[in-house]
A and B are shown apart, each in its own frame.
Chain A
Amino acid sequence: MRRSVGDLDRRGRAWYVDKAVAGLVFIGGISAIVFIIGIFVFITREGWTFVFGTLDFGEFFTSIEWRPTSENDPTYGALALIAGTASVTGLAMLVAVPFSLGAAIFIAEFATGRTREALKVLVELLAAIPSVVWGFIGLAIMNPLIIDLFDVPIGLGVLNSGIILGLMAAPIMTTIAEDALKAVPDGYREAAEAMGATKWQVIRQVVLPAGKNGLMAAVLLGVGRGFGETMAVLMASGHSINLPTSPFDSVRALTATIAAELGDAPRGMEHYQALFTLGIFLFIVTFCINLAADIAVRGVRKG
């Protein structure tokens, strides 16, 4: 009898281990959610009083006058910053979408064996380059190049930062797009090939339409990445407040503004709160983009 009691004991220990691991995993999972909510609460709390007090929404969205440090009449027009971020991200997508979709199609549909593995590793290495290095490339290589090529006085602006950001976002977009193409069942390709479709016809008429949700998600995550990127844009955009009218104009991004000014803004003052308001705005926009990407992946049909 004692023996069997001992056996029961041992089972009990395994049970506790099981419960403990389950608990840890649960805490791990839940803490991700808690952190996100915590960050949102923190940002909102800092910007809160400003958003519902001093802030003039009309001014925020329509004025280009971002003069938070003005002695007697500070203004908080974020239009130029929004336009800066949007123009840089837009150009970045013009660069990144063809690059990353092309690379994804090549890796998923054409490359085989060694080439394929090598390319995948390469893309992952590219994705791991820190953004400050990209910013440095923008400053040290792209800047003189643009000045020489286009004969403009300064090479820091929409063009420079757009290209840098595009190259930066392309690897992760490639990886996600490639996953989306790989997820298209091979039976579709086989069926189309058996009907006499060429490789390219199979890709264009079957694989891309079948994988379009995942491809959409890849593009949206790239856009989100572009919106949120700070360091590279700060270095390559010229960081001057402008409504850009040409690709060579210097602009300033929302993120770069926060990064550059937060250190000098006295805590709790209007300027400080205004920067948090930019943060809330960014948070909401990227949240919406990621949500859209998520919905795209799930393939919720519109209309």
Chain B
Amino acid sequence: MSNTVDQAAQAAQRRPHVRFSTDVPRQSANDQRQRTADLGTAGLLAARQVVKSYYKERLAIPVLRGVDFAVRDGEFVAIVGQSGSGKSTLLHLLATLDAPDSGEIHFGGRRIDNLPSTSRDLLRNRCLGMIFQFYHLLPELTCLENVLTPCMIAEGVWNYWRRRRTFRERAEHLLEMVGLSHRLKHKPRELSGGEMQRAAIARALVADPEILLADEPTGNLDQKTGQGIMDILTQLNSEGLTVVMVTHDVTVAARADRIVRLVEGRVEPEI
């Protein structure tokens, strides 16, 4: 294990389990299991018969043809599939960034794909963390400000100003955990790919989400840097964070608890 990852692991152990206020009611893990069992959908996040097509000049391009799959609390799931198989599409649907043509998405036992947009915004802001292949940091903001963005979105000017110290401490903690404490004031373009992805992870975690959705987090990185990112993700998972990762790289996927294969718009039965 590399030195930085060691540090990251240590930092993660110190990570305070501060819960940030949310308007979306949360249940304890026990409650959730109870509720999801009632609904007949196993897990924290689940897709049921999800169908999604893109339309190009009235011509439907079916991408997902009925995906059924569930993530249990605390699990590390890798979704693998060829390029163009609809992995990103599925992840976007899970994150409520897009709506399925038919089927349902459930989170913590509640259906979320048909929620009004304000509720979905809140959900994304507080319960779901996302990281992307191309990091997607805001180029105008420094590393620290990027990490703080979800807090700024969550709070009004006055509240944010009042609690800026708490937020800042938390963001610095997370950046320290991912090994970026020396890059707080740097703009994304002054960072390497691995550093950007770590900043993105810190940003995804700042609101203390229940699940992390990662879209090919290592897709743009060399193997060693990719391994570093994977170390952080497994570390986080071992601390209880549910992770759903999309990848086309089988070696990366091998580090997950479970692999879900997406073939021709359907989940291939597990072997």
Same complex for A and B? Answer no
Residues of B bordering A, CB below 8 Å: none
Binding site for B on A (CB under 8 A): none
